[in-house]
Structure 1
């Protein structure tokens, strides 16, 4: 069910409103400045009383975003504590430390502020607390300041002691509430903001061939893809525009629209490669998508099913480009457009830039696919070799 709230204290020309989902996700409030009214409203809606604010060091020390959230919580007597040492790819040490702070402070809700790392860390904390407490569910209120879209997923990834990515998944892990306040994104560094926009684009594209995604959500992803191509360059050119940033937050939401899968459905090869590259070599999530998405789309022109390729060709059409005359040609042209967008945003890089040893390529490919005997192993090795 969708509910639109027109009583927000902002001009009617601004992008704003409220959306509610059944089961775990109780509501998404969006609009510039909405955090001040949305946070108290969600506390009342969820029946919670004390929050652990979970965030990263950079956002905490270099902006006033976290202080603003803390201030709102204090005004409703809902502030418990802040943990600001969640690192890139959500290392397990931070998750354990934050769990202790959560328990010791008597908190009953996590308010995550930042990108995918604090959002996923919050999911992991709540997952293990649920295991310890026999299934008791505690909520997360997510306040994203990047475009990674982690807040719309029931899965969470974190890094264990060995540096490997670990995944947990449960319907109960989806945040109970999400606040999309574009004003809070102004402090996000340009490279992080734009690269996580490519991460959202990665969601759009890989949802086109992701199992279990129904056609209406594929159509929504196509629309989001067009918006990301339009508004990411505009945001780079006009970084202080809250209006453009709000449109990008909505596009990020559309890229990974909350859906209740009976079983978690993994995304495609670009995401899988990103998971194996990111934690092991300290490559940010957004940058892994900048590296892998375009070549994976080009590979799909050769290995994708006809239905997959037709959806990808439709994505090229959504960019208002003339057809090359063939489906395969349009898919390759889409790959070229993605590569050009990454370059135009100043986000082009190589595996050499992140000191990924060439001799690691077979292991990365095998870990991504699950085995060296996978039919796509030679193609995946070649793809990785071309990223140097």
Structure 2
């Protein structure tokens, strides 16, 4: 048994509502939190789908208006547009609907609303420091209604991009923000809404969210609390996620998948740091050198990253085995079975097994290894894993 080690678990998640049609309770939850009028923040596709109608109906007279201008770019100009709409509608809360991009834009908009900073100055700050300055003042409450499985919602971080349209930079610059005030005050996990997400989008996002449970278990800052939720997340995900690859209308499968990803996020984003580690660092490196979708990058690299971890450390393989239902007393067999289980989930989701079958160019592997090695998430790598850039390049070569 992997005995718990001493830890401090400082975590303040928002209220979580889970269940079919739980968005019907949006108005009631907002009333409990003294939120009068919420601005719905979403992308164009969600804005034209039945998801928007369900959310706006659930809000009732607490629906201030809708901003359907977010995109995968997560641009500051989008956040500035949401801010303008927020003031136009006299809203007092941001309600993000859709994938991680909608939530990240809503978080950035909340920061801009509180700071009042012009978008060109905000873009210049991102170019200089990689982040927006979080004001001391309270931010507008943020509410989340996810429709993908990437696991960006139960989190206090957000990614963003400063683009030339902002007037503050000459070329696109990526950045991010992290602060406990960015944790949503309420999150609604309604499995019925995931019916409207394209199967390919759902499958790719699921791999990203699934890996959060894996990494939470072997992270250097793992706790007994996050161990428990991560193991149960894997138990839900190992059976449900492979059913999503070709699309499914099985409501029970969707309910298990949504519950699994929700649990995978619990405690992964905390004031004292994230539990994300090697796989997510590889994801950052690979997306930096190509247009590969994050979930596709994770699918190709995750089994090889785990093999690398198990070659050098225990990697808490026993706890991972519990989550995947692996029954073996032999450490080597356990490690192989865990890697195989991850590959089965990837294959069931219909994601590429090799990097060469994605948008990643072989010429970009050297740079991807360098970016991975320098990524902040590497600080959470399992104890005993002493990586070098050359070793990370070798892992990428295996995945290629």
Fold match, TM over 0.5?
yes
Distance in 1, matches of 2:184 and 2:41, equals 13
Equivalent pair of 1:25/1:174 in contact (CA under 8 Å): yes
Q: What is aligned with 1:213?
A: 222
Of 222, 232, 253, the match for 2:262: 253
Higher mean displacement: 64-73 or 217-226: 64-73
Q: What RMSD in Å do the two structures reach over aligned CA positions?
A: 2.5
Corresponding residue for residue 91 of structure 2: 107
- Determine the structure 2 residue equivalent to 1:10: none
| Aligned residue in 2 for 1:66 | 52
Aligned with 1:231: secondary structure? helix
Residues of 1 paired with 2:206 and 2:99: CA distance?
Answer: 12
User: By how many angstroms is 1:53 displaced?
Assistant: 1.0
2:281 aligns to what?
272
Report how far residue 83 of structure 1 moved. 2.0
Is residue 85 of structure 1 aligned with residue 102 of structure 2? no
Cα drift, residue 85 of structure 1: 2.5
Structure 2 residue matching 1:356: 3-state secondary structure? coil
Aligned partner of 1:320 in structure 2 is: 325
Calculate the TM-score normalised by the size of structure 1.
Answer: 0.83
Contact 1:211 1:265 in 2 (8 A): no
Which structure is higher in RCO with an 8 Å CA cutoff and minimum separation 6? 2
SS at match of 1:313: helix
1:48 to 15, 19, 35: 35
Matched-pair contact (CA < 8 Å) for 1:24–1:176: no
Q: Deviations over 1:306-348 (max 9, x none)?
A: 3xx2x2233124333342x532442233122212321132112
What's the secondary structure of 1:208's corresponding residue?
helix
**CA distance in structure 2 between the aligned counterparts of 1:290 and 1:337, rounded to whole angstroms:** 12
- How many angstroms does 1:349 deviate by? 5.0
Change (3 A) 1:104 1:328: farther
- Matched residue of 1:47: which SS? coil
Matched, 1:381 2:393: yes
Task: Give the gaps of 5 or more residues in structure 2.
Answer: 1-9, 117-134, 164-170, 376-385
| Deviation, structure 1 residue 67 | 2.2
> CA shift at 1:116, angstroms?
1.4
Aligned residue number for residue 3 of structure 1: none
| Structure 1: distance between partners of 2:288 and 2:104 | 14
Sort the Cα spacing of 1:166 and 1:44 in 2 relative to 1 into closer, same or farther, 3 A: same
Name the counterpart of 1:31.
19
**TM-aligned CA deviation for residue 262 of structure 1:** 4.1
Deviation at 1:237, TM superposition (A): 6.9
Give 3-state SS (helix, strand or coil) of 1:213's partner.
Answer: coil
Q: Could you list the structure 1 runs, at least 4 aligned residues long, displaced by more than 6 angstroms after superposition.
A: none
TM-score by length of 2: 0.81
Residue of structure 2 equivalent to 1:291: 300
